[in-house]
Amino acid sequence: MRGLTLSLALMLILAPAAVAAQGFDGTYSLGNCSQPGEGTMVLAGATIIFYESACRLSNPTGLPGFDEAVMYDASCEGEGETWKDKMLLMPALSDGLVVVWPGWANVYERCH
């Protein structure tokens, strides 16, 4: 876990500002912001960090008809593995964030 933490810190430092998920930066939770843990997600610049994995986001692409939704190429690592996928981020009706991967989606609430 310590190696993953160092790796995540380096990803945050090296993340280019040009790819930042504009307006989405922050800490989010699947329901309990007062107890960070497995359901917590942090978005900082071009890096999205989940409980045991992190992804570097690149190639932001808007979607016609979805004004604030952005599709990214995601280069991820976690639990000893690396993978690439697409990831869609868009604001939720509340002050949250919808995160969609192929075959998976969650609505996170923004932690204040």
* 11-45 pLDDT per residue, tens: 433 333 334 556 799 999 998 888 878 899 999 99
Q: How confident is the model at residue 2 (pLDDT cuts 50, 70, 90)?
A: very low
- E strands, 1-112, are 26-29, 40-44, 47-49, 53-63, 66-78, 81-91, 97-101, 104-110
Please tell me the predicted confidence (pLDDT) of residue 34: 86
Please state the rounded mean pLDDT for residues 50-64: 94
pTM above 0.85, yes or no: no
